Structure 1
Amino acid sequence: MNVRGIRGAITVDVNEKQPILQATIELLNGIVKENGILPEDICSVMITVTHDLDAAFPAAAIRQLSDWELVPLMCALEVPVKGSLERCIRFLLHVNTDKTQAEIKHVYLGGAQVLRPDLSKT
């Protein structure tokens, strides 16, 4: 078994608590579904938000999910590069898996598809 990184990102239309929390769950569910992983497979989750999303901690949404209370979560600010994508939540999950790097499915939703069009579903 190896530790692999799984990336993902999603945009939020407004800087409000519920949209941030809902987008967080949507992204997490997409990554979990696409990669067939369970919370017990996850070593940790690094979550970043752009500076314009300060109405909620995305990790708070994940902590409320059944079986996720023991998964280590960390939120941080994304590097504020001028002209970069706004209102964006990004994930990096560190996962124990037998999958190869090529078998990992990264998930980019909504406006975040522009970050990695090569990995985004159309």
Structure 2
Amino acid sequence: MQFSLKTIGLISLYAMTVSAASKFAQTCENVETFGNTLRANCREFENGELRPSTLNLNECIKNGKGSLKCGKNGNFQGSCINCSLRGETELYCMCRNVQEGHRFVPTHIDLNKCISNNHGQLGC
């Protein structure tokens, strides 16, 4: 039974680490955007220190028919304009929708769904 409790404890610790990694805003501070660049000070898991980190959002976000979505090498800014960060995680843009004559439509995404803190470095 003791082995099972240790195993459960290790699984819980791993789950907390993965959860924190996938929701970057829980472990990063001073989050801001400049064009397509996301900047933040992110906590390293090993020692808890904050490290400055940047990420090109085009590497992690795509325009899916007028909706911002997670997507590796998505290059959303090729078809989106007037993007701004609201709060620490909500990215709002006007993006072209191919199904509506390529007109720009409002859309947003919670960056916590796409961005992670990987040992102090922002990543997809």
**TM-score normalised by the shorter chain: which range applies?**
under 0.3
Q: Which has the higher contact order (CA 8 A, sep 6+)?
A: 1
TM-score, L = length of structure 1: 0.26
